[in-house]
Structure 1
Amino acid sequence: MSLPARFLRRALQLALSATVALVVLAPLPTQAVPTDLRTHAQVLARTENGWVRGDATDEGRQFLGMAYAQAPSGDLRWKAPRPVKNWHGVKDATHYRNYCAQNAWYHPDYKEQHTTEDCLDVNVYTPSAATNVTRLPVMVFIHGGANIGGAGRDIVPDTFARRTNTVVVTLNYRLGALGFLTLPGTTGNFALLDQQAALRWVGANIGHFGGDHTKVTIAGESAGGGAVCAQLASPASHRLYRGAIIQSGAYFDCQGKTRETAVIDGLAFAAKLGCTKPATAADCLRAKPVKELLDAQSGGPETWNYTIGGRELPLQPADAFTTGRASRVPVINGANSNEGLVFAYDIFDRVGNPLTADAYPQALTSTFGEHTGTKALDHYALSSYERPVYAYAAAFGDQLFACPALRSNPRLAKRGPVYTYEFADRTSPPPTGIPAGTDFDFGATHATELAYLFKPFGHTPDFNAEQRTLAAQMTAYWGSFIHGSAPHAAGQQAMPEQGTRPGEVLQLRTASAGGNTSTTTLREVHHCDLWDAATSS
């Protein structure tokens, strides 16, 4: 709903006046707000394309569902994102808009298939003190979801923004085939290009929301952390940020697909939908409804990942790191101590098929191959674990997350400062979406650290006093880094920097579990010699 013309004219006059160069992010004067808007404490901001109306909350201000690119549908499907067109009046930015197209999964927020391509939006959260004249540091957070699911709304960082005095941006990007399909004549890196378009939107607009476009930190968890790896290696994004945070994102050593492999996989996917001619496969698929694309994805063998070898990603990220051809900005890199537990739960217990001791050896060899799986039996003996599934989870998490993160640290250190952590609170609440009543011990599994920084899926975690203290400390570490310093928290050990303290990692734990302490033993704890050898063989 647009504001009355007389008020819009007055707002524009204020915007051009000598005392207020840009619209101030503050509640609109009560007498100027139509009656039906007063209860929402609306606020206005100007973007380069037009005005938006957000909300004031107890934590600050938020502007939701703002498009940073046109809908990539029709002829724009599998093309680089196009800029948004200007609009007249004031657009509503008080609600999230669409999820990017994706299939359903078991989380309560994702029980339905979403088929909308008009989804390239950003959400901006600011503390109350932010105005058009403040220049607060900015964090742009990229959501996870295995490159096939998720949305910017999956975390709500309003409390984080207030506590750290920063502006936080979350975003949507194309997923699955729509974001990663590589065919002859296409780049394949549409998700990467979307993220860069969102960063350019931040550069052009964030000053109107109280942020400083020269003080942007990119961050992400899981697939979002993998996106940060890719952005560090992508020449096109190097001037768009000054720092980066990788949370559980170095899996597979940040590796993407070679273009040759990506095209082979892309043509195989196209053939499933009857588009069998390489030269016309992209145009053939553009004519398909989104639902057909998603149905073809469901249960398929494809893995969706960034494509290496073009101008967007000329090198594998690990090679870009070690050769100094990646962005040289400071980085925080880390993982969680028990990453594999939630994956093991999904594979076995969630589907009613608990892993038995007799089935354990086969589970290892099926997952890791005969040679490595047999060796893993010695490293992850059942006698060391309460349940076979916990032993399997330890191997799974070490191989996929812990050891790749540790291997990435010295590589990242070749191109700039890298600070390292391991989230290790064994008392963490289980991830969102876990059925009530399970006796499964999730510990510090994948994604549990998010609750100590943000509100996953909008839910405020039910922490005890020690967990609240740890959350405040982690917020301080992350916030100080976003403000441009080495990550630190009052009264706590500094997060180690690999250039001066190689191999040292800060474990983040509650006080009764030993508190935040540095360690140099994580490679041994996670059996990285085994997994490093398997990677190099």
Structure 2
Amino acid sequence: MRSHRMRTLVAALVTVAAGLVPAAAARAAEPGGTLVHTATGWVRGERTAEGRQFLGIPYARPPVGELRWREPRPAERWRGVRDATGLGNRCVQTASWDPGYEDPTYTEDCLDLNVYAPDGSAGRPVMVWLHGGGLTAGAGADIVPDTFARTTGTVVVTVNYRLGALGFLAAAGLDRAASDGVSGNYGLQDQQAALRWVRGNIARFGGDSARVTVAGESAGGRSVCTQLASPTARGLFRAGIIESGAYGDCAARSHRQARAAGAAFARKLGCDGPDAVACLRRKPAREVLDAQAGFDWGPVVGGAFLPEQPAAAIAAGRSARVPVLNGANQDEGRLFAYGAYDGQGRPLTAAGYPKALTDAFGPAAGARALREYPVDRYPSPTHAYAAAAGDQLMACPALRLDERLARSGLPVYAYEFADRTSPPFASIREAGRTFDFGATHVNEVQYLFKHFGLATPLDAEQRVLARRMVQYWGSFVRGGEPRAQGAPAMPDGRTHPGRVLSLRTASVGGITLSTTVHTEHRCTFWDSVAS
């Protein structure tokens, strides 16, 4: 008896020393609960009015010290129960006008994710959301998708990934440590690490690892486009959603361009020479962030991670063979035009309009754009410039992506968010009192989720449109065609080429199938410029 008690006591001490979850807590980890055992340890989330949420879960080791500018490593195990009721750190980025982002962050320990799971049954489809921000800003916390998860019956995961120079620096010294000999894709490799975490863990939160849709807006949508073309992402998702992310035809930097920019960046930080990488790793994050302005940060083509440009891979049928929901907003360019002109206190004038087009598109294309977008057809020169910039940057590349996907035999469902009455999203709401943003860049996000955690002031008609959009997105994530009650199905480009689902409120025409989006955005002209 004494021997048995001694063995029991020793076993109990070992359990405590190892930091394992007590038996009582383990018994509380029932399906659908807030205590969940992941591959790296226990997490305790919380229950809200919308379901369950688990915030700030590490999916990779902090990329600090010798792990800065290295491919992500799996997170280390932790002892006991990790609190998962608070958001983790944003990755290093400057301050912005977005709510909660008024101060810069210099914290590199940021590779975590958030899980929003409805109560109830297991085996739910999963959406993994990649935030926007130009690959230099933003975080998984940009959206709170708890209502979307509940109403669509899905599990939603939002992800942080490395940004700017810390996410996309390429250099000769870094190439030598890259598994494929090409550096500069750390932020996108983080995204794949998060998708691998989802594959290994999401069933414990009620999700189905075989039904994962990767989705994103702006730079997040561009990331989805890149992941479609990346062979190392194969099998990590069954579908993709690209919102305003086809800009630049999803093009990546060439290895040569990226290395040249990396060398210039190193010189700017005083890290030239044979020990440049070691010097860069010693630099505080604040200095790295301060030096990154003026450089183009994005993916790099040429290695096993991204052997060819995404557009070429898609056109040749060498991308992931998955269905895609893809679209853009009707007035994409108004946000960027406002930021360049009216938001700086110097609205564009009619006299300055021709030069603005030339500066943006070059002398030949600028002169042609002046004929395509005569200033007297628009409310202001800024709006005329916005129409040209939005069509060239976002609208026409989205339609070209539809065509490439359809020609390669993939289901591609096309939409355009066209609610010109939509309230400006939170960051520009005050500016919207004097500037007409229309259906500008980012404005559709608030119809799907709480943007920056804030409820959107939608009127009755807009709330109806929002419910329909959630139904379209939700039915696609669940594995079917995008459909909404009382509205036409989102068209498949393979069987309905050139058709786009126009998302409008009822008083301006409602949700309709359009065949004129290509013409409205003058894409014949812009396609000729791009070719």
Give the structure-1-normalised TM-score: 0.92
1:215-254 matches, within 5 Å, as: 215-254=211-250
- Residue from 76, 93, 105 that aligns with 2:96: 105
- Residue from 367, 376, 396 that aligns with 2:360: 367
Cα gap change, 1:14 to 1:155, in 2 (>3 Å): closer
Unaligned runs of 5+ in 1: 16-22, 27-42
| Counterpart contact for 1:327–1:415, Cα < 8 Å | no
Q: SS at the partner of 1:496?
A: coil
Instruction: Look up the match of 2:333.
Output: 340
Deviation by residue 1:471-506 (Cα, 9 ceiling, x = unmatched) = 000000000000000111112111110111111111
CA distance in 2, matches of 1:268, 1:447: 32
| Counterpart contact for 2:254–2:300, Cα < 8 Å | yes
Task: Tell me by how many angstroms 1:11 deviates.
Answer: 3.0
Write the letter of the residue equivalent to 2:26: L
Which deviates further from its counterpart, 262-271 or 433-442? 433-442
- Residue from 503, 506, 515 that aligns with 1:511: 506
- Residue from 63, 72, 94 that aligns with 1:72: 63
Instruction: Look up the match of 1:24.
Output: 31
- Residue from 39, 54, 61 that aligns with 1:63: 54
Write the letter of the residue equivalent to 2:384: A
Instruction: Look up the match of 2:530.
Output: 535
CA distance in 2, matches of 1:73, 1:87: 18
CA distance in 1, matches of 2:100, 2:276: 33
Instruction: Look up the match of 1:11.
Output: 25
Instruction: Look up the match of 1:89.
Output: 80
Task: Tell me by how many angstroms 1:243 deviates.
Answer: 0.4
Q: SS at the partner of 2:36?
A: strand
CA distance in 1, matches of 2:67, 2:349: 50
Deviation by residue 1:319-376 (Cα, 9 ceiling, x = unmatched) = 0001111001000010000000111111111111011111111111111111111111
| Counterpart contact for 2:35–2:44, Cα < 8 Å | yes
Cα gap change, 1:491 to 1:283, in 2 (>3 Å): same
Deviation by residue 1:397-451 (Cα, 9 ceiling, x = unmatched) = 0010000001111111215111100000011010221152631111100000001
| Counterpart contact for 2:231–2:306, Cα < 8 Å | yes
| Counterpart contact for 1:258–1:307, Cα < 8 Å | yes
Write the letter of the residue equivalent to 1:268: A
Q: SS at the partner of 2:89?
A: coil
CA distance in 2, matches of 1:173, 1:241: 18
Instruction: Look up the match of 1:177.
Output: 165
- Residue from 103, 111, 117 that aligns with 2:108: 117
Task: Tell me by how many angstroms 1:12 deviates.
Answer: 2.6
Q: SS at the partner of 1:106?
A: coil
Instruction: Look up the match of 2:399.
Output: 406
1:318 aligns with 2:306: no
Write the letter of the residue equivalent to 1:25: G
CA distance in 2, matches of 1:421, 1:352: 34
- Residue from 475, 485, 500 that aligns with 1:480: 475
1:370-409 matches, within 5 Å, as: 370-409=363-402
CA distance in 2, matches of 1:282, 1:515: 56
CA distance in 1, matches of 2:260, 2:28: 57
Deviation by residue 1:17-68 (Cα, 9 ceiling, x = unmatched) = xxxxxx3223xxxxxxxxxxxxxxxx21111111111111011110000000
CA distance in 1, matches of 2:484, 2:420: 21
Write the letter of the residue equivalent to 2:439: A
Q: SS at the partner of 2:461?
A: helix
- Residue from 462, 479, 484 that aligns with 1:489: 484
Deviation by residue 1:190-221 (Cα, 9 ceiling, x = unmatched) = 01110000000001110110000000000000
| Counterpart contact for 1:125–1:169, Cα < 8 Å | yes
Task: Tell me by how many angstroms 1:283 deviates.
Answer: 2.0
- Residue from 195, 206, 209 that aligns with 1:210: 206
Task: Tell me by how many angstroms 1:13 deviates.
Answer: 4.8
Paired residue total: 504
Task: Tell me by how many angstroms 1:292 deviates.
Answer: 0.7
CA distance in 1, matches of 2:428, 2:515: 33
- Residue from 428, 433, 455 that aligns with 2:427: 433
Which deviates further from its counterpart, 467-476 or 435-444? 435-444
Deviation by residue 1:241-277 (Cα, 9 ceiling, x = unmatched) = 1000000000000000011111111111111011112
Task: Tell me by how many angstroms 1:103 deviates.
Answer: 1.2
CA distance in 2, matches of 1:151, 1:508: 27
Q: SS at the partner of 1:148?
A: coil
Task: Tell me by how many angstroms 1:128 deviates.
Answer: 2.0
| Counterpart contact for 1:253–1:408, Cα < 8 Å | yes
Write the letter of the residue equivalent to 1:165: G
1:471 aligns with 2:466: yes
Write the letter of the residue equivalent to 1:509: R
| Counterpart contact for 1:321–1:415, Cα < 8 Å | no
